[in-house]
Amino acid sequence: MGKLDNKIALITGGGSGIGKATSLLFAKEGAKIAIADWAEDNANAVAAQIARGAGEALPIKADVAKAADAEHMVAETIRRFGRLDILYNNAGIGNAKALHQMTEEEWDRVVDVDLKGVFLGSKYALPELMKRGGVIVSTASVAGIEGVRHMAHYCAAKAGVILLTKSMAMDYAEHGIRVNCICPGTIGTPLFESGYAHLPPDKQQQALRRWERAHLLNRLGQPEEIARTALFLCSDDASFITGQAIVVDGGFTTGHRLSNAR
């Protein structure tokens, strides 16, 4: 018996990183998965991997920042599987830039994907979830709890996800819907690696070690570790948890960074 047997889950950003790890884990635990991703090839590849393991998955090309795409991904999930039980708003982007050098378009794109995408996904999923109850989980960040240099747009968006989560939990508990978010520390994903791809290899390694040392456990987190947290929150193991921002950060936010140097 899997923890998500007979559940239908829609996972955004499901084609890579945390979303891919979660799609694979949820399928292993018995769920049928709709994998929404703007990178269609990634979504197709993960769906094929799930199918090879005797699971069932539906790849959907979607930009979560667009209302029509968000509505479409929910409608397609219900058309294929008959209902929706779990929404994981995981899709996210980010880049480093000082605020005074940031264009309006750069600000808008990060906020649109990371915050508006949670709003739109939830907006179109909620009417279906309200029929029989369900779960919404979103990927926030430790950057929504404390500041990160040159990441003002990302921090603002992720802080918004945390309070949006709490507000939705209050509004929809009466419909049997639990709403939580996960606040990862630095996770070794393609998104993280892309931020340093322009550097020579030695500089990439220096940057990696700097981030590793910022965590008490002296390493980055892995996508599978966040996926296991999402599984817990979406399963009956977390049946009395709602409105919470669950920090999974290897000690990143525990205390002053100077205490981490070694």
DSSP symbols for the chain:
--TTTT-EEEEETTTSHHHHHHHHHHHHTT-EEEEEESSHHHHHHHHHHHHHTT--EEEEE--TTSHHHHHHHHHHHHHHHS---EEEE---------GGG--HHHHHHHHIIIIIHHHHHHHHHHHHHTTT-EEEEEE--GGGTS--TT-HHHHHHHHHHHHHHHHHHHHHGGGTEEEEEEEE-SB--HHHHHTTTTS-HHHHHHHHHHHHHTSTTSS-B-HHHHHHHHHHHHSGGGTT--S-EEEESTTTTTS-GGGG--
Q: Is the pLDDT of residue 199 over 70?
A: no
Average pLDDT over residues 207-223: 92
pLDDT of the residue at 28:
98
Q: Is the pLDDT of residue 260 over 60?
A: no
The active-site residue, picked from 124, 154, 172, 196, is 154
Mean pLDDT of the chain: 95
Average pLDDT over residues 188-214: 79
Average pLDDT over residues 34-57: 97
Query: Residue 196's pLDDT band (boundaries 50, 70, 90)?
Result: low
Q: Is 172 a catalytic residue?
A: no
pLDDT of the residue at 192:
75
158 vs 206: which has the higher pLDDT: 158
pLDDT digits (tens, 9 = 90+) for 176-187: 999 999 999 999
List, in order of start, the domains of the chain with CATH numbers.
8-260 (3.40.50.720)
The percent of residues above 90 in pLDDT, for the chain, comes to 86
Q: What is the pTM of this model?
A: 0.95
Q: Is the pLDDT of residue 52 over 90?
A: yes
